[in-house]
Each structure stands twice: as C-alpha cells, then as structure tokens.
C-alpha cells in the first residue's frame, strides 16, 4: 500500500501559468489549453483503491449470481500492474476463485475475470481476447479495472457485448471528446488540421485530441496512453523569442525528475519526442508497483519472471 502522504494532485498554479501562455499563442493553442484544463484529471491512490474494491465486490456478486467460480486472469510479469492489482482485490474474490492463469481459456461455466489498473486505448485488452479464441456464446467475462476509457469500453463491448464492466469503475474520455463538449465541435478533432498541416510548429507539444489527460498517484502512463509530456512538464514554445519553457503540472514533482537518456528534459533546447521518461529516477509520480519486492514463502521473487513461474 502507498503511504497517505504520497499523493500528487494537479499543480493548479502551474496549470494557470501554462494556460495563460497558450492563450497568447493563437486560437488553436488557446482552445487546446482550455480543453486540457477542463480534461486533466488526477486519481489519488485512495480513490483508485476504493473504486477497485467496490468493483471487485460487484464482480464477486455477479459470479455468485451466475453460480459460477472465477478464473482470475493475471498474465504479466512480476513488475506489471495487473499482478499488483490482483493482489489488492484477492481478499474479496478469493473465496470464489477456482483458478489463476495467465491467459483467457475456453472453460465453460466459469467467469473469467481480467484484472488490471486501467485501460486506455483498449488495444491490449482486445488483443488478448482475440488471441484467446474466447467464444461469447459459452464463456462469461468480467473486466475488473480501476479505470477505463470510453474508447476501451466501446471496443470491448463491440467485441464482447456481454462483458461485465463494474459500475464503480472510473470512466474517462479523450481530449477530443471533451473538446466537443467544451467547444461545441462535433465533426472532427478540432486540433487535427493544425497538427498535420504544420507539424514543425507544434512538435514541442506532442499532443492530439485522441490522447487522454489522466494520471494516477501510482503511475503516469506512457505517451501511447496519455499526453505524458504535457502532463509532466507542460511545454510552451514562444515563437517570438524562440524560447522553450517547461513547468510541472503535477504538484510534488519537479523538472529535475524528468529525464531522457540521462538528461533533464528541461535542459534540452530542442524538440524531443517523448514516449516515456527514463525508468530510473525519470518519472513522477514513480510507478509504484515497479518498486515492490515480492516474497513467496519467505523467498524473494525474481523480478524478471512471471508470477506463475
């Protein structure tokens, strides 16, 4: 468990500063900052934990109502999020768990439960379902997550319409989806044209409307899932002075933390593409579950193995 003091709320002062700079930088960037300000979400560990536990009780109750045991699907390595998440919900589910396995199978009359912390694009989730050969006609499925994007939810239900997603699960959406609500733009990503027509002007921002703007006390996801660079260091490029500046949007984090190839991103004077920051001391909040040293029957678990080994 994380300590009570280990929380990383939004740095509202830095967010206001960044938005003020963006407002002076043209209509498109001003609109983007407005939407980003209304979209950015921090999920504390206790909100995540409470949500996950409530969701676990929903899944447990569903398995009982079906009269079926649970097969818990936990397939990643020791340092991945789904092992940590599975351990958090184990006390609730354990009584009705028949088996723990790495992949979804094709057993009948069981409830397969996929457990993890969050799903953003939904691609990994759908890939796992596709390669499993799971048949909706004979197999029951629940997805036990702390948070799920609307994109992932739609993909899942398109692929597996009877899948159970607990009501307690935190829902979030893309920046574009929120732009349609805040700006009243419905037909297309309002930022897409500018990104595509003038990429050299906006390379420093590295964000599109199809990304998400959410982070957790236990993790800042990579750039595939979220606007990582923007959340971490909120870059702004002043075309008149040709100066690139940064400020952290997460309270409790500093620019000294974020590094790429051992160098502070704040020391770089060029536009660097960021998929993720350095693992060793290069991210904030630190990825909590990667700091855990597990033991099994008194012996240390090798961190490079899968937990089933």
Instruction: Please state the domain extents for the chain.
Output: 12-39+175-210+219-286, 45-172
Q: Which of 7-16, 76-85, 155-164 has the highest mean pLDDT?
A: 7-16
Helix and strand totals (H; E) in the chain: 10, 13
**279 three-state secondary structure:** coil
Output the pLDDT for position 304: 62
Which of the two residues, 245 and 272, has the higher pLDDT score?
245
With cut-offs at 50, 70 and 90, classify the pLDDT of residue 118.
very high
pLDDT at 297 (0 to 100): 78
In sequence order, what E strands does 151-195 have?
170-172
Question: Residue 9, exposed/middle/buried by CB under 10 A (0-12, 13-18, 19+)?
Answer: exposed
pTM: 0.88
183-187-191 Cα angle (round to 5): 60
Question: Contact, 250 vs 34, CB < 8 A?
Answer: no
Q: If one looks up domain 45-172 in CATH, what number appears?
A: 3.40.50.2020
């Amino acid at each position: 468990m994380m300590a009570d003091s280990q929380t990383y709320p939004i740095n509202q002062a830095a967010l206001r500063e960044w938005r003020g700079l963006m407002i002076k930088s043209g209509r498109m960037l001003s609109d983007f900052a407005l939407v980003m300000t209304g979209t950015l979400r921090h999920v504390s560990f206790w909100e995540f934990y409470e949500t996950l536990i409530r969701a676990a009780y929903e899944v447990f109750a569903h398995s009982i109502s079906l009269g079926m045991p649970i097969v818990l699907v936990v397939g990643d390595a020791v340092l991945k999020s789904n092992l940590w998440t599975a351990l958090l919900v184990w006390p609730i589910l354990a009584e009705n768990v028949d088996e723990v396995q790495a992949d979804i199978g094709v057993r009948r009359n069981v409830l397969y439960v996929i457990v993890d912390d969050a799903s953003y694009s939904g691609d990994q989730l759908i890939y796992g379902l596709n390669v499993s050969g799971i048949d909706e006609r004979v197999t029951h499925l629940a997805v036990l997550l702390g948070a799920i994007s609307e994109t992932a939810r739609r993909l899942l239900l398109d692929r597996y319409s009877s899948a159970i997603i607990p009501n307690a699960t935190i829902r979030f959406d893309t920046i574009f989806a929120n732009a349609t609500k805040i700006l009243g733009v419905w037909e297309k990503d309002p930022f897409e044209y500018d990104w595509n027509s003038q990429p050299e002007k906006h390379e420093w921002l590295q964000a599109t409307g199809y990304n998400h703007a959410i982070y957790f006390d236990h993790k800042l996801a990579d750039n595939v899932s979220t606007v990582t660079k923007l959340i971490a260091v909120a870059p702004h490029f002043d075309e008149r002075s040709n100066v690139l500046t940064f400020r952290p949007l997460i309270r409790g984090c500093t620019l000294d933390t974020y590094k790429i190839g051992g160098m502070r991103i704040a020391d770089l004077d060029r536009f660097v593409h960021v998929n993720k920051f350095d693992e060793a001391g290069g991210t904030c909040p630190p990825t909590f579950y990667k700091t855990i040293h597990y033991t099994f029957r008194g012996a240390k678990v090798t961190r490079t193995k899968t937990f089933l080994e």
